[in-house]
């Protein structure tokens, strides 16, 4: 596919309550968010005409903004509706949806009482986050040099643009070194998450995944926990150090973009994609397309 910059495409973007031509959906260079990182966003996928877990995403957008001490001037129901309308206007049934909310250019100073919160929603086609061949074999990750911050240092559980500064650096370093992604530890040295996905490990038929105290509370992670528990698989949500990776047989990452992607390597540790990961990958694929009923919440 040829490279088309994101500001030079055909279509419509929903901006502050109305549709504007894609190329006109602009904000000024003195936008508060650009200078001070006061922006939050979501990443959603529509499968066969339905946005998967739409309301959970809109609720998280609100929660992320509240963690950054600002309010979104549209209700969860209004954001849900705007996401659906943006997909419909694009004529897409399978696509990626990107809502973003940020403090605008009304005031440029650390204090931001006079800023307004602006909201935009764009959608585009986005097939697989990792290339399908690599995904089937299991992706390889290196250790990130950056750590997820202490929640007292930054609002680590918000999907805040500012937290992706370390994700972008870690992911680009990994790609330069021939890996697909990077695995981050948290500030205490516990295994945390990849740069855009949560992580699960398998040992003796049980799953192990870190708690969401310094990482994003992934909507795919929640879904996979429900899918696993519905199959009678025990899910251990607990903290663990990298040394424990030597005792796990399988590993996979989860995220709206990554879906369920098997992992074959993290730094010095190797894993073999096998029945448990591949089974959950398949279940998730069927669930998002409405071919499997939603498991009861645990």
Ligand X SMILES: Cc1ncc(COP(=O)(O)O)c(C=O)c1O
Residues that are catalytic: 159
Q: Which residues bind ligand X (CB under 6 A)?
A: 43, 167, 193, 196-198, 216, 218-221, 254-256
CA torsion through residues 143, 193, 230, 57, sign: negative
Residue (118 or 221) nearer to ligand X, CB: 221
Cα distances (Å, whole numbers) of residue 105 to 32, 35, 50, 158, 180: 5, 10, 34, 22, 36
Spatial contact of 267 and 183, defined as CB atoms under 8 Å apart: yes
- Which residue is listed with tokens 């295994």? 191
Residue 26 Cα to chain centre, angstroms: 24
Minimum gap (Å) between residue 186 Cβ and ligand X = 12
Measured from the Cβ of residue 293, the count of other Cβ atoms closer than 10 Å reads 9
Measured from the Cβ of residue 91, the count of other Cβ atoms closer than 10 Å reads 8
Residue (105 or 149) nearer to ligand X, CB: 149
Minimum gap (Å) between residue 222 Cβ and ligand X = 8
Residues near 66 by Cβ (< 8 Å), separated by ≥ 6? none
Minimum gap (Å) between residue 72 Cβ and ligand X = 17
Minimum gap (Å) between residue 121 Cβ and ligand X = 16
Residue (117 or 261) nearer to ligand X, CB: 261
Q: Say if residue 73 is exposed, middle or buried (CB neighbours under 10 Å; 0-12, 13-18, 19+).
A: middle
Residue (218 or 273) nearer to ligand X, CB: 218
Q: For residues 156 and 186, give the distance between their C-alpha atoms in angstroms, rounded to a whole number.
A: 10
Residue (112 or 123) nearer to ligand X, CB: 123
Residue (12 or 129) nearer to ligand X, CB: 129
- E strands, the chain, where? 12-15, 18-21, 39-41, 44-47, 50-51, 95-103, 117-124, 139-148, 181-186, 191-194, 198-203, 206-209, 235-237, 250-255, 259-266, 269-270
Q: Say if residue 164 is exposed, middle or buried (CB neighbours under 10 Å; 0-12, 13-18, 19+).
A: middle
Minimum gap (Å) between residue 254 Cβ and ligand X = 6
């Amino acid at each position: 596919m040829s490279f088309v910059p994101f500001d030079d495409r055909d279509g419509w973007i929903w901006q502050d309550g109305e549709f504007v031509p894609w190329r006109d959906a602009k904000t000024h260079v003195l936008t508060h968010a650009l200078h001070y990182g006061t922006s939050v966003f979501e990443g959603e996928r529509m499968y066969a005409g339905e946005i998967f877990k739409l309301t959970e995403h809109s609720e998280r957008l609100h929660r992320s903004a509240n963690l950054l001490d600002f309010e979104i001037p549209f209700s969860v129901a209004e954001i849900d509706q705007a996401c659906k309308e943006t997909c419909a206007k694009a004529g897409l049934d399978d696509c990626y949806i990107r809502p973003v909310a940020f403090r605008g250019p009304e005031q440029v100073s650390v204090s931001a009482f006079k800023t307004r919160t602006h909201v935009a929603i764009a959608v585009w086609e986005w097939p697989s986050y990792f290339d399908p061949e690599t995904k089937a074999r299991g992706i390889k990750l290196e250790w990130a040099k950056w750590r997820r911050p202490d929640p007292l240092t930054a609002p680590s559980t918000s999907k805040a643009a500012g937290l992706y500064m370390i994700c972008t650096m870690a992911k680009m370093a990994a790609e330069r070194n021939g890996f697909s992604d990077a695995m981050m530890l948290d500030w205490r040295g516990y295994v945390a998450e990849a740069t855009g996905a949560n992580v699960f490990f398998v040992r003796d038929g049980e799953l192990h995944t870190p708690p969401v105290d310094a990482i994003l509370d992934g909507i795919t992670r929640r879904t996979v926990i429900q899918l696993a528990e519905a199959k009678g698989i025990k899910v251990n949500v607990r903290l663990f150090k990298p040394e424990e990776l030597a005792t796990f047989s399988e590993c996979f990452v989860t995220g709206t973009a990554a879906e369920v992607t098997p992992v074959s390597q993290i730094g010095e540790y190797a894993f073999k994609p096998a029945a448990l990961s591949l089974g959950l990958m398949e279940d998730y694929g069927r669930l998002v397309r409405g071919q499997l009923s939603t498991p009861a919440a645990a």
